[in-house]
Chains A and B, each alone.
Chain A
Amino acid sequence: MRLIDLLSRGMIVTIQLFVLTLILAIPLGLIISFGRRSKSRIINGIAGIYISIMRGTPLMLQLVVVYFGPYYIFGGKIDRFAAAVIAFALNYAAYFAEIYRGGIESIPKGQYEAGEVLGFTKIQVFFKIVLPQVVKRILPAISNEVITLVKDTALVTTIGVAEMFRAAQSEASRVASIEPLFVAGVFYYIMNLIVAQLFALAEKKLNYYR
């Protein structure tokens, strides 16, 4: 019971990290995907380099950089949890951006043209006509990322955030058994079952048109 209690308390932090990351990464990814589609070569280039670095280096390293970086630059310290949220949001936004871009580019040109001749502004065309169709198309790819995010939250033990995996680790060394880690695995699995279910539900809901 002590184990369940410990893990549950850790899970609250895990869920907080998970939710905050999504809240930040989902809109940030959209902005980066706009950058990637920009006609300006400079903006396009910056977005490209950003995505390349975020996808090309270990998330664990990014965590360390965000957490310890400010100390070396300003000599100030940053909260562990805040550092974790920032690093995760920056990293996942890069993946989301590429998924959005793929979705946006898959919408036929005729949809933009139809909106344009009906007098919609570019912003209206994007938010009323294009984006809702993009959401439907990218949902499977996004669900992959979100499921990965649930598991990736365990990485924040690197910078000492007291979440579920860390709780399991310290309990494992206290009782000298790997059982707590297995139980944590079950916790992650259940969280992901729920996430997968929610996405299946959303996909079903968007199935009203083809």
Chain B
Amino acid sequence: MKMIKATNICKSFDGEEVLSGISFEVNKGEVVAIIGPSGSGKSTLLRCINLLEKIDSGDIIVEDEIMVATNGAGKAIYAEKKELRKIRLKLGLVFQNFNLFPHFNVMKNITEAPKNVTRVSKEEASKIAEELLVKMGLEDKANAFPCQLSGGQCQRVAIARALALNPDVLFFDEPTSALDPELTIEVMKVIRKLAEEHMTMVVVTHEMGFAREVADRVIFMDNGVIVEEGAPEDIFTNPSNERTKQFIKGFNA
């Protein structure tokens, strides 16, 4: 089953094209890693799919629902607000710098959206949060405030917060770029665990080792286009495109 189907996405900021006709799909249970140099449009792509930016043209379909489609005149037409809210809840996004709510403790960071958005009862929301905290190895941090946590712990709380809404697809925007190598490992471990449970995930990352080991498919982006995509082994050991070769070589050197 296709979770995400994006076709020919174009996006410009102030006349500068950041995404130039991106098409890709994500299947249920798949882990897709998006790699590429800074400024290649990876984060923008994620932000577009998560409705933080609006695309100029192209189609995005989430499961069976049309988020945005381009009409005959080449203009992107978004679904109605109500529909978009419904689609949004199928998607979860984890940010590079966590964006936890500093005035809420860990528990409240996780339960606030279920309580107020999906209208889950208080008890149910707390139960879900407790289970997620155990899964993240943070069961003793429920009452801590984000400022009392390490970056790795913050990111795991952010993952739990996104999972509490039970999304069908979870997106990660460079989830470890703000972390020390040591803390990177603990966050990667959690993502790996989710992969083992067949959570559908799209991860923008600079961690080549992670992309290689955990991803089912790797997409290499440069200059707003998908240069190459394929199985991790092919991309990392036998890239067909010259640009991909250079990029991978840069990491291995």
Q: Which residues of A contact B (CB under 8 A)?
A: 108, 110-111, 113-120, 124, 128-129, 132-133, 136, 208-210
Contacts and interface: CB of A to CB of B under 8 A. Distances in A.
13 contacts: A110-B97, A114-B100, A117-B88, A118-B161, A118-B165, A119-B88, A119-B117, A120-B117, A128-B116, A209-B102, A209-B145, A210-B102, A210-B145
B91 interface: yes
Contacts of B165: 118-119
Given A129-B101, A209-B146, A209-B147, A117 B52 contact: yes
A208 B148 CA distance: 10
B135 interface: no
A110 B89 contact: no
A124 B118 CA distance: 13
A136 B117 contact: no
Interface size class of B (residues with CB under 8 A): 20 to 34
B99 A120 contact: no
A89 B147 CA distance: 37
Contacts of B93: 117
B117 A118 contact: yes
Contact of B99 (A114, A128, A208): A114
Contacts of A119: 85, 88-89, 113, 117-118, 165
Contact of A133 (B52, B103, B162): B103
A24 to B, nearest CB: 27
Given A117-B93, A119-B113, A128-B112, A111 B118 contact: no
B149 to A, nearest CB: 11
A126 to B, nearest CB: 13
Contact of B102 (A116, A118, A120, A133): A133
B116 A120 contact: yes
B50 A117 contact: yes
B145 A208 contact: yes
Interface in B99-127: 99-103, 112-113, 116-118
Interface of B: 50-52, 85, 88-89, 91-93, 95, 97, 99-103, 112-113, 116-118, 145-147, 161-162, 165
B152 to A, nearest CB: 18
Secondary structure at the B interface, as helix, strand, loop or mixed, is: loop
Contacts of B88: 117, 119
Given A111-B101, A128-B116, A209-B145, 16 more contacts: A113-B99, A114-B101, A117-B51, A118-B161, A119-B85, A119-B88, A119-B113, A120-B117, A124-B116, A124-B117, A128-B112, A133-B102, A133-B103, A209-B102, A209-B146, A210-B102
A165 to B, nearest CB: 40
A124 to B, nearest CB: 6
Contacts of A117: 50-52, 88, 91-93, 162
Contacts of A133: 102-103
Given A110-B97, A110-B99, A133-B103, A116 B117 contact: no
Contact of B52 (A116, A118, A128, A136): A116
A209 B103 contact: yes
Nearest to A110: B99
Nearest to A133: B103
**Which 6 residue pairs across A and B have the least CB separation, nearest first?**
A114-B99, A110-B99, A119-B117, A118-B113, A210-B147, A117-B93
Nearest to B89: A119
B76 to A, nearest CB: 19
Contacts of B50: 117
Contact of B103 (A108, A110, A118, A136): A136
A16 B95 CA distance: 49
B16 to A, nearest CB: 20
